[in-house]
Amino acid sequence: MTLINAEVAPEQERLNWGRLLMDGIPYADLTAALERGEDVSWFDHWMKTAADYEKEAQRAVDAGHRHTAGELFVTASLCAQYAQYLWFGEDRAAGQQRKVDLYLKAAPYLDPPAVRFDLPIDDVSVPGYLRVPDGKGPWPCAVLIGGLESTKEESYRFEELLLARGVAIATFDGPGQGEMLAGTAACGDFERYTSRVVDFLIEDSRLDANRLAVVGRSAGGHYALRSASLDSRFVACVSWGGYVNFENWEGRAPLAKESWRYVSKSANMDEARIFVEECLDVRPVLAELRVPTYFQQGALDFVPVSQVETLKKHAINADLTVVVEPAGDHCCHNLGPRPRLEMVDWVADQLRTGGSDQ
């Protein structure tokens, strides 16, 4: 596999301020990344920052400061995530593994804790985490799906919003993502993996099997539409900056294209393009989507806003809530917390039978 020289590619593509900040990277670390010496690579800088946070987190563990330990291990994991984010050097796998290890360290200190699962499928397994609120259940649950360059370790801040509203959360890596990438490339049947997670969740007596939602971000918003169309156990679906079918390949940034090649294990860019255009297309099954569905787009996104019309044309059996933010970029990361709050409130409303969120 040919690796592009990421040092030459525009760092602006990695330094997606809205996304990194909203996911929980401290502003102080973004400025430090910008101001680092010219001889320090993006990857090395963030891996060092991750190690610094890990050290502080361990100190918190030793002092019995559980909350701080959880917070700092998560931050360390996020730093490793963004070290390997859109980074195609040989060291990417090491960054990916650090992210996994650091989140695993954070998991028991989160409130509620994140409990790891590994679910056999074919000859591999689907890795993920489940977080269930304390107290009397059974709880509704949202299954979160990341996108390109996303993994199960990245949604902590968003999870907190759902948990505060009484919704348990499950995250997992699907094909082409995180720990699954080595064994399973991105594919056109992502829903099989989502359904494997659902098989697991409905066996948990703390959860209400009749109140499951799927929430996907970016490409995960595409996978969410596919999963909710083909698994009738979901009662609600959110496509956050997602799409019905992949359009505008030419309009994608260089590292994003390289990433699609990487996660689909395509031999070259032409193959990658054919993959996304042919395999990331839920139009053939979208008439099967029969649950309330929230479709959020930013008008300034590289995902064409015409996807709203595509959705309406094909999702003829679903109750659609379409939100197009006029000033929003991809996933509306640039707009701060408000669009995310609206989304989680919608999810909580769908997973409840009337009333307020308390």
**264 is an active site residue:** no
Among the listed residues 334, 347, 350, 351, the single contact to a copy of itself using CB under 8 A: 334
> Which listed range, 78-86, 241-249, 281-289, 337-345, lies at the site for a copy of itself (CB under 8 A)?
337-345
Among the listed residues 54, 71, 231, 301, the single contact to a copy of itself using CB under 8 A: 71
135 binds a copy of itself (CB under 8 A): no
Please identify, using beta-carbon distances, which residue of 212 and 347 lies nearer to a copy of itself.
347
65 binds a copy of itself (CB under 8 A): yes
Cα separation, 320 vs 307, whole angstroms: 13
Cα separation, 116 vs 114, whole angstroms: 6
Which amino acid is located at 204 in the chain?
D
Among the listed residues 45, 152, 165, 196, the single contact to a copy of itself using CB under 8 A: 165
205 binds a copy of itself (CB under 8 A): no
60 binds a copy of itself (CB under 8 A): yes
27 binds a copy of itself (CB under 8 A): yes
54, 149, 179, 258: the catalytic one is 149
299 binds a copy of itself (CB under 8 A): no
Taking the complex as a whole, the smallest distance from the CB of residue 143 to a copy of itself amounts, in Å, to: 21
> Which listed range, 148-156, 161-169, 274-282, 294-302, lies at the site for a copy of itself (CB under 8 A)?
161-169
8 A C-beta contact, residue 276 and residue 261: no
8 A C-beta contact, residue 200 and residue 235: no
Among the listed residues 18, 108, 113, 138, the single contact to a copy of itself using CB under 8 A: 18
Cα separation, 137 vs 32, whole angstroms: 43
**247 is an active site residue:** no
Which residues touch 174 (CB under 8 Å, ≥6 apart)? 126, 145, 180, 190, 193, 194, 223
Q: Which of 157, 154, 137, 136 is nearest to 145 (CA)?
A: 154
326 binds a copy of itself (CB under 8 A): no
**218 is an active site residue:** yes
Among the listed residues 11, 13, 44, 56, the single contact to a copy of itself using CB under 8 A: 56
**φ/ψ of residue 133, rounded to 5:** -55, 150
Secondary-structure percent of the chain, ordered helix, strand, coil, rounded to 5: 45, 15, 35
Query: Could you tell me the strand order of the sheet in which 320-325 lies?
Result: 115-121, 124-131, 168-172, 139-145, 207-217, 236-240, 293-298, 320-325
Residue with tokens 């703390």: 206
Distance of CA 55 to the CA centre of its chain: 26
77, 195, 218, 239: the catalytic one is 218
| Catalytic center residues | 149, 218, 301, 330
Positions in the binding site for a copy of itself (CB under 8 A): 17-18, 21, 26-29, 53, 56, 60, 63-68, 71-72, 75, 111, 161, 164-165, 334-338, 341-342, 344-345, 348-349, 355-358
